[in-house]
């Protein structure tokens, strides 16, 4: 059973939301000093796990992030680690000055020979919005280069927390990033998330924040009911087109994502189709089947007038639907009805949708996804190395960075099929998007390196099996 704070600890906060959450803790009676001790000592536990008995260098800046560094250093000293602090700037807050006064260990100059096991970056925290001064950026880079392991506290220095944008060129890569109190958007947004290393979160007691984004969680799935049959399990219809291979990949994934029955409407014979897949040329019968729980249209569809008519026909069937690939380029606002719908664009398809729906295409990826979800009434899975899910309600879900081996042809078709398989099973657009995106990423992990889209589609089964309780 999940712990009671798991939902709270999945929230992703902006800088303003985090400051307000900390202010609420202070107003409720927790002092700034107590919060700093709580955050720093718990972060120190993670640093010790990396350092073992090795030496640690902590770089402290002037603000409260630097104060966290002084607390971490004292915690490590108390537990027997050889630790030294470099004070890049003298503390400028009362809490940071108090933490500095409590430290009983070694302080060394910025140019000292401090190569060793672990470097801890407490230079600047999540509030940074301008580039590091040249001398501090050089110091950060030098210390990162001469230590075996590099740990960033809260958000790596030189990164804008709300966007994940690097504020300096040539910033270090990190072994581990320890978030304090809540996740920040930089932990999940490119390009910052490519350099954060492993992610860990320290709980300091922050309360739920209304409207906060959340991290995509591993789904909890159940086996089919004892009286299930192939129709009740979830019947999925897929509308194929000019390129049948894409639709076959999607169908293979849907079969392994839990759908009980998958039918593919294709214009011609498909001798390479799996035996479990029913292939038909009768689109009207497929769309008119009352047992059909969901539809998928787009993979391999093409962009002809005939493909556009097929998309309109599919949406007029008023079934829960996943729209992917070519269908996204063809989609117009007037085509959508009231049935649950999931759109799965990559960057190029997103640009086409924004043009078609009269959106500016400006802003961060999460803002663009939310704008399209609000305008279309559909759940949007804006896929990429930092995929986001946006719902028309304003709900926002952020995925951890997926395997870069997914950058191979056909994996988008597998994602569409996986989401469609879940949509046929549960009928809920947001839930299906979350389950499908998780299964897709986990299947990629299981495949390892240099896999094909076909291998990925088959690996969805093992990913699903691991989610069944």
DSSP collapsed to 3 states, 257-271: CCCCEEEEECCCCCC
* Residue pLDDT, tens place only, 147-189: 999 999 999 999 999 999 999 999 999 999 999 999 999 999 9
Q: What is the pLDDT at residue 113? A: 87
Report pTM: 0.95
pLDDT beyond 60 at 140: yes
Report DSSP letters for 16-45, one per residue.
Answer: HHHHHHHHHHHHTT--HHHHHHHHHHHHHH
State whether the Cα torsion 184-4-461-434 is positive or negative: negative
Q: What is the pLDDT at residue 261? A: 94
Confidence of residue 86 (pLDDT cuts 50, 70, 90): very high
**Which of 403, 388, 392 shows the shortest CA–CA distance to 344?**
388
Identical fold between 6-210 and 235-465: no
**Which of 426, 441, 452 shows the shortest CA–CA distance to 233?**
426
More confident residue, 103 or 1: 103
Q: Domain residues of the chain, as ranges?
A: 6-210, 235-465
Question: Using only C-alpha atoms, what is the Rg of the chain?
Answer: 25
Q: What is the pLDDT at residue 6? A: 81
Mean pLDDT of 245-262: 95
Mean pLDDT of 399-413: 96
Go through 238-257 and write b for each residue having 16 or more CB atoms within 10 A of its CB, e for each that does not: bbbbeebbbbbbbbbbbbbb
Mean pLDDT of 302-330: 96
pLDDT beyond 50 at 1: no
CATH topology of domain 6-210: Rossmann fold (3.40.50)
What are the beta bridge partners of residue 180?
Answer: 202
Distance between CA atoms of residues 319 and 91, nearest Å:
61
Distance between CA atoms of residues 404 and 400, nearest Å:
12
pLDDT beyond 70 at 258: yes
Q: What is the pLDDT at residue 3? A: 58
Distance between CA atoms of residues 150 and 165, nearest Å:
20
Tokens standing for 238?
A: 């897929």
- Tell me which CATH code domain 235-465 carries: 3.40.1190.20
pLDDT beyond 60 at 145: yes
Mean pLDDT of 434-450: 97
Confidence of residue 207 (pLDDT cuts 50, 70, 90): very high
Mean pLDDT of 8-29: 96
**Which of 219, 295, 313 shows the shortest CA–CA distance to 254?**
295
**Which of 253, 464, 264 shows the shortest CA–CA distance to 344?**
253
Q: What is the pLDDT at residue 278? A: 87
Distance between CA atoms of residues 18 and 354, nearest Å:
31
Mean pLDDT of 442-449: 97
């Amino acid at each position: 059973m999940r712990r009671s704070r798991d939902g709270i600890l999945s929230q992703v906060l902006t800088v303003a939301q985090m400051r307000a959450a900390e202010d609420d803790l202070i107003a409720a009676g927790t002092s700034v000093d107590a919060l700093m001790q709580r955050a720093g000592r718990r972060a120190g536990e993670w640093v010790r796990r990396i350092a073992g008995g090795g030496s640690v260098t902590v770089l402290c800046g002037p603000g409260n992030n630097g104060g966290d560094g002084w607390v971490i250093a004292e915690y490590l000293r108390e537990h027997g680690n050889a630790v030294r602090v470099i004070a890049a700037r003298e503390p400028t807050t009362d809490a940071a000055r108090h933490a500095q006064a409590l430290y009983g260990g070694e302080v060394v100059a910025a140019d000292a020979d401090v190569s060793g096991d672990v470097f801890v970056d407490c230079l600047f925290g999540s509030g940074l919005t301008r580039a590091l001064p040249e001398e501090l950026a050089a110091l950060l880079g030098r210390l990162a280069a001469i230590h075996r392991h590099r740990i960033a506290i809260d958000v790596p220095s030189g990164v804008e927390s709300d966007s994940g944008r690097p504020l300096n060129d040539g910033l270090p890569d990190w072994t581990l990033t320890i978030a304090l109190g809540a996740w920040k958007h930089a932990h999940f947004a490119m390009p910052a998330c490519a350099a954060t290393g492993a992610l860990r979160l320290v709980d300091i007691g922050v309360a739920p924040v209304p409207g906060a984004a959340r991290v995509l969680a591993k789904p909890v799935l159940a086996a089919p009911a004892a009286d299930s049959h192939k129709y009740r399990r979830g019947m999925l219809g897929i509308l194929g087109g000019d390129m049948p291979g894409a639709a076959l990949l999607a169908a293979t994934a849907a079969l392994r994502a839990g759908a009980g029955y998958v039918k593919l409407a294709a214009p011609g014979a498909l001798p390479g189709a799996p035996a479990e897949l029913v292939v038909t040329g009768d689109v009207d019968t497929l769309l008119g089947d009352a047992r059909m729980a969901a539809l998928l249209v787009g993979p391999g569809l093409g962009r002809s007038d005939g493909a556009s008519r097929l998309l309109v026909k599919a949406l007029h069937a008023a079934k829960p639907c996943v729209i992917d690939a070519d269908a996204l380029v063809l989609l117009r606002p007037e085509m959508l009805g009231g049935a649950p719908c999931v759109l799965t664009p990559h960057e190029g398809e997103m640009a086409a949708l924004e043009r078609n729906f009269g959106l500016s295409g400006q802003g961060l990826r999460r803002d663009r996804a939310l704008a399209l979800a609000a305008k279309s009434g559909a759940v949007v899975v804006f896929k990429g190395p930092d995929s986001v899910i946006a719902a028309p309600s304003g709900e926002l879900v952020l995925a951890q960075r997926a395997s870069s081996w997914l950058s191979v042809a056909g994996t988008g078709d597998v994602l569409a099929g996986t989401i469609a398989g879940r949509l046929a099973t549960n009928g809920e657009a947001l839930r299906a998007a979350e389950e499908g995106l998780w299964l897709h990423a986990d299947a990629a992990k299981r495949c390892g390196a240099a896999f094909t889209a076909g291998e990925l589609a088959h690996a969805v089964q093992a990913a699903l099996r691991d989610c069944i309780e």
